[in-house]
């Protein structure tokens, strides 16, 4: 499982900082952000066995971001 405060490198060599865990509709997600330019913000679900699923849903990302404030 990933944790806030980590930097993870994925199998496609993309590197993300794990920013914060948020729960939407009872489902926990993690907000990820690249640490280098270009800055990208992603949402993922942490799976078992050191795997994550990157979620493409922009609406969910915006909702997750809104939970930061």
Partner 1 sequence: MTNQYDGTEALIYNALRDFYSDKQIDEIIDAYNESGNNQYAFWMAIDRDVYKNRDFDGHLALMHALKDCNYNEGACLIGLDPKIARYRTLDEQIKLMHAYVEHEGSGIYNIATDVNFLQNKTVDDQIEYMNFLKKYNYNKDAIEVLFDVENIDKSKEELEALVKNRAVEEDIVEKLKKDVNEALNSGINETNGNQSREEAVDNVIDEYKILGVSENASYEEIQQAFKTKTEQLLSEDNVDVEQLKKIQDSFVTITYHLGKEVTLNDIAEEISKMMETKNIHRKTNNNKVITPPRNRRYDETTSDYEKYLEEYYQKHFSTVVKESKNEKILGTNIYKPRDRRPYETDEEYEQFLEEYYKDKDFSNIPTGTKHKIKKRRKNRKHRLLKKLLTIATVAVIGLGIWFNTKFGVDKDPKPTQTVEQSVDSPDFNQPVDNDNEEFEKQLGKEIDEILKTSDNKDVTKLTIGDTVKLKEGTRYYFDSQKASPTGRIGNEYTSPNSNYLINSVALVDKKTKQIIGVSYDRALSVKEMMEMYGVEKDDCRVVGLIGNNGKLNPNDALGWVVLGKDNFTKTGTINDYKRKVR
Q: Which residues bind partner 1 (CB under 8 A)?
A: 2, 4-13, 17-20, 24-27, 31, 33-41, 44-45, 47, 50-63, 65-66, 68-69
- Dihedral over Cα of 24, 29, 35, 37: its sign: negative
Cα distance between residue 24 and residue 4, in whole Å: 17
Residue 15 beta carbon to partner 1: minimum distance, rounded to whole angstroms: 8
Residue 16 beta carbon to partner 1: minimum distance, rounded to whole angstroms: 10
- Sequence-ordered list of residues with C-beta below 8 angstroms from that of 27, at least 6 positions apart, any chain: 45
Residue 47 beta carbon to partner 1: minimum distance, rounded to whole angstroms: 7
């Amino acid at each position: 499982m990933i944790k806030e405060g980590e930097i993870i490198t994925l199998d496609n060599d993309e590197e993300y900082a794990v920013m914060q865990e948020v729960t939407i509709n009872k489902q926990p997600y993690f907000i990820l952000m690249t640490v280098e330019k270009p800055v990208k913000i992603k949402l993922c679900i942490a799976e078992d066995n050191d795997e994550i699923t990157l979620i493409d849903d922009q609406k969910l990302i915006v909702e997750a971001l809104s939970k930061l404030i």
